[in-house]
Structure 1
Amino acid sequence: MTLRHFALALSAAAIAIATPAVAKLTSQETRMVAAVNKGQDRWVNVLEAITLQNSGTRNLEGVKRVADMVTPEFEKLGFAVEWVDQSAAKRAGHIIATRTGRPGSTKMLLIGHLDTVFEPDSPFQGVKRLSDTVMEGPGIEDNKGGVIVMLAALEAMQAAGTLSAATITIVLTGDEEDVGEPIDVARADLVKWGQWADVALDFEGLSRQDGKDMGAIARRSSNSWQISATGKEGHSSGIFSASAGHGAIYELSRIITRFHAELPEDKLTFNVGLIAGGAVAELDADLVRAQATGKTNIIPATAVARGDFRTLSDEQTERVKAKMQAIVADHLPGTGAEILFEQGYPPMAPTEGNRALLRRLNAINADLGLEAMAELDPLKRGAGDISFVARYVDGLVGMGPAGEGAHAPGETIDLPSITRQAKRAAILMSRLAMEKR
């Protein structure tokens, strides 16, 4: 029986659980709570150390150094740790850590990442303690804080005697912020373990809304597109005539205008990030800069645009792509255009299995005396690594800490959220470990 079926079977009972007046933790779970509280200061010190080590995605040595810093912590917890080199994808590599528990127990995949968006040339470096509850640093919440929550939860399980029953694989990628290519190579190990697992827990940052912790059961995809439009170069005095046509820029403008008018639908966003046109228009090798030349009295022969679109399901992805292709193909006279797509992160759809897991987490919130976590609107989260395994396994997103300003100078972490999230994760994993698949 997969977790998808097993979770659905439990969902009716889980729904009925109301917040009790007195927490209903087992003696082992009470020991987990105490262990998390006891270890907080040590884990904050480890967090500071790994945040001080720059691990921008393209800083391959820095990513490996962070891996070397956290590997002993996983080994202390009984995990066999392997470094999977990713030089073929022009990235540093991944940590794969495994341990086998009680035969027949739920197989859990824990997901996080070692890299950050802040490369060594970023001016945002170092760590600052802004208050008793807030610390600032590059990647301190996304995702170094997530790795710390993961470790703190596993240590608490070990202290309470529940880790020995758990069958767990951990995948910490070294390129979540800028995935290596080809993607099928860069994410082969993650997909492999996703197909193995019964449940996946993503330790990226906790979502909060109106001051409340939220439960995330979905993430949208991230897809890129590029349009190349062509026209007949000639004197502008002949534009719109049968012989001269409308030119490449009007053709590209037509396409983008129709995207804006005809594509909108629920949970879909689409963006034009770069555009250029003229007698000559070219993109650089990294596809992030454009150069164009032209004159006011010349009909432009070339125009190019790049953008993205984000969807909530594979079905929505294919439907939107078909709409875009049809719009592109309806050319103005004397012009041509083509669109190419690149899939980055696939979607993680909001399945009933994922909702059942959130109900189980809310049962734990009740036992801890915490508020129930409402389901987060997927528009509130970006894409992430769990999406690569979402079609194979039920999962939850946002098991890591809360913070502010991820991906921007001044990124912070809410330190009390480390203990809150570690307790939730430790109890959830322990309860799953005691149940048969």
Structure 2
Amino acid sequence: MTALSRIEEQAVARASASPMLARTRAWAAVNSGTGNIAGLDAMAGMLADAFAALPGTVRLIEPAAAERVAADGTVAAVAHGQHLHVSVRPDAARRLLLTGHMDTVYPADHPFQTLTDRADGTINGPGVADMKGGLAVMLAALEAVEAARCPIGYDVIINSDEETGSFSSAALIAEAARGKLAALTYEPALPDGTLAGARGGTGNFSIVVRGRAAHAGRNPQDGRNAIVAAAALALALDAAKGPRLSVNPARIDGGGPNNVVPDLAVLRVNFRPADADEIARARTTIDTAVAAVAAAHDVRIDVHGTFNRPPKPIDAGAARLFDLVRQVGGDLDLPIAWRDTGGVCDGNNIAAAGTPVIDTMGVRGGAIHSADEFLIVESLAERAALSAVTILRLAENGL
């Protein structure tokens, strides 16, 4: 650490001394799968207590309405947990957004519920990397920045539904992102510290196909087979995939007894567009394929879904933010590199609001979304230092 100011050195020491590991253990011990509302309520309360150490207003925000298409084609509201919003110095000249999520992909009945310390300096446990360790890093960095009497303002949003698309928190995040100098999101970096650069977008659709039931032996000609129509639609959509648009027809729900022509099917399909032009192409593909299949099979088709994560390019503002983080990393003897990825997160939505963002400022770890998920313990201190110094330099010099 050869180029740090005295204030920065003190912030690094303060951040590194934070009880991040203890916090991570305590938070990871609480199951907060996206659908576990009781667990999310407990998690939100713990986070609200912890983030109350910051000199701002801490609020728990009710989730916006969201819905889901069931296997029987009905559309129903889906419950989500509360979201945490912390606002510090809202009138400051320079303001940042820091985001993370409290939910995990492990439901309350998942067998992966415990933490295991490994001899290689890692911890295996649900959410330790994605992203309860990242939340501990965020808080440690902000506490160090506050100890330095830094005048920067910021909002913190920790949502409860990131793992399922942030449908009940997207508007909250978009509003918080507007007008901010930059944003930092605490998804995990790769085990070697590599950050996510540009990201493609994603869209998830449930397409309900309604045909007509009939006896499969006596009068099949009177039926309209929804399963066959859904399969034809899946093939038509799949044909649109290319180097910059991934299309994944993932599931068809529906059908019944072998002697009944099925009158209902629900096709689930995921799109991964590389840019806005591919979103437009995908939308046209959906509209064209739906019209053609509906006409050819004499069925009714209703499309539910949206492109909920826009692509995240590295524009000029994001490039400057990456350069700043790389410089800070160099001063901390932490090599910083990044690469494009096909994954998505709330960073996509923040970038779409026009705010430069780095969305992998969390711990180093890996095997996320599996029972092998792990956190590299030594990365807690290094990543908290990286965030603290980055925030101090944004406060001093802007972007």
User: Is residue 129 of structure 2 the alignment partner of residue 144 of structure 1?
Assistant: no
State the percentage of identical aligned residues: 24
Give the conservation status (yes or no) of the 8 Å contact 1:124–1:410: no
Partner SS state of residue 305, structure 1:
strand
Q: Deviations over 1:153-177 (max 9, x none)?
A: 1122234x1x531211100112222
Aligned-residue offset at 1:204: 1.2
Question: Equivalent residue for 2:189?
Answer: 206
User: Is residue 371 of structure 2 the alignment partner of residue 388 of structure 1?
Assistant: no
Partner SS state of residue 216, structure 1:
strand
- Partner Cα separation in structure 2 for residue 116 and residue 212 of structure 1: 21
Question: Equivalent residue for 2:252?
Answer: 275
- Partner Cα separation in structure 2 for residue 340 and residue 67 of structure 1: 34
User: Is residue 43 of structure 2 the alignment partner of residue 57 of structure 1?
Assistant: no
Give the conservation status (yes or no) of the 8 Å contact 1:231–1:335: no
Q: CA 1:110–1:253 in structure 2 vs 1: closer, same or farther (change >3 Å)?
A: same
Question: TM (normalized to structure 2)?
Answer: 0.85
Q: Deviations over 1:111-141 (max 9, x none)?
A: 0011222222222212221236211221111
Give the conservation status (yes or no) of the 8 Å contact 1:55–1:119: yes
Aligned match for 2:288, one of 326, 331, 339: 326
- Letter aligned with residue 127 of structure 1: L
Any stretches of 5+ residues in structure 1 without a counterpart? Answer: 1-21, 277-289
Aligned-residue offset at 1:222: 3.3
Aligned-residue offset at 1:309: 1.3
Deviating above 6 A after TM superposition, structure 1's stretches of 4 or more consecutive aligned residues are: 234-239, 243-246
- Partner Cα separation in structure 1 for residue 196 and residue 64 of structure 2: 36
- Partner Cα separation in structure 1 for residue 226 and residue 244 of structure 2: 31
Give the conservation status (yes or no) of the 8 Å contact 1:232–1:335: no
Question: Equivalent residue for 1:67?
Answer: 44
Aligned match for 1:226, one of 175, 194, 207: 207
Question: Equivalent residue for 1:347?
Answer: 310
Aligned match for 1:172, one of 158, 161, 170: 158
Give the conservation status (yes or no) of the 8 Å contact 2:238–2:249: no
Give the conservation status (yes or no) of the 8 Å contact 1:248–1:335: no
- Letter aligned with residue 74 of structure 1: F
- Partner Cα separation in structure 1 for residue 196 and residue 233 of structure 2: 38
Question: Equivalent residue for 2:73?
Answer: none
Identify the range of structure 1 (95-104 vs 404-413) with the bigger mean alpha-carbon deviation. Answer: 95-104
Aligned match for 2:13, one of 34, 42, 65: 34
Q: CA 1:408–1:433 in structure 2 vs 1: closer, same or farther (change >3 Å)?
A: same
Question: Equivalent residue for 1:85?
Answer: 62
Partner SS state of residue 313, structure 2:
coil
User: Is residue 231 of structure 2 the alignment partner of residue 253 of structure 1?
Assistant: yes
Give the conservation status (yes or no) of the 8 Å contact 1:23–1:366: no
Q: CA 1:102–1:256 in structure 2 vs 1: closer, same or farther (change >3 Å)?
A: closer
User: Is residue 77 of structure 2 the alignment partner of residue 99 of structure 1?
Assistant: no
User: Is residue 356 of structure 2 the alignment partner of residue 370 of structure 1?
Assistant: no
Give the conservation status (yes or no) of the 8 Å contact 1:224–1:342: yes
User: Is residue 176 of structure 2 the alignment partner of residue 193 of structure 1?
Assistant: yes
Q: CA 1:335–1:399 in structure 2 vs 1: closer, same or farther (change >3 Å)?
A: same
Aligned match for 1:294, one of 230, 245, 258: 258
Q: Deviations over 1:354-409 (max 9, x none)?
A: 222112211212222222313x2231x2x322333322212111111122222222
Identify the range of structure 1 (385-394 vs 412-421) with the bigger mean alpha-carbon deviation. Answer: 385-394
Any stretches of 5+ residues in structure 2 without a counterpart? Answer: 67-78
Question: Equivalent residue for 2:75?
Answer: none
How many residues align? The count is 384
Give the conservation status (yes or no) of the 8 Å contact 1:199–1:394: yes
Give the conservation status (yes or no) of the 8 Å contact 2:208–2:264: no
Partner SS state of residue 142, structure 1:
helix
- Partner Cα separation in structure 2 for residue 307 and residue 110 of structure 1: 31
- Partner Cα separation in structure 2 for residue 434 and residue 142 of structure 1: 30
Q: Deviations over 1:27-53 (max 9, x none)?
A: 2222222223333xx210111111112
User: Is residue 269 of structure 2 the alignment partner of residue 310 of structure 1?
Assistant: no
Identify the range of structure 1 (145-154 vs 315-324) with the bigger mean alpha-carbon deviation. Answer: 315-324
- Partner Cα separation in structure 2 for residue 101 and residue 165 of structure 1: 11
Q: Deviations over 1:238-287 (max 9, x none)?
A: 99xxx8799555443333223333x12234222122225xxxxxxxxxxx
Pairwise CA RMSD: 3.0
- Partner Cα separation in structure 2 for residue 234 and residue 121 of structure 1: 40
- Letter aligned with residue 391 of structure 1: A
Aligned match for 1:128, one of 116, 125, 147: 116
Identify the range of structure 1 (211-220 vs 74-83) with the bigger mean alpha-carbon deviation. Answer: 211-220
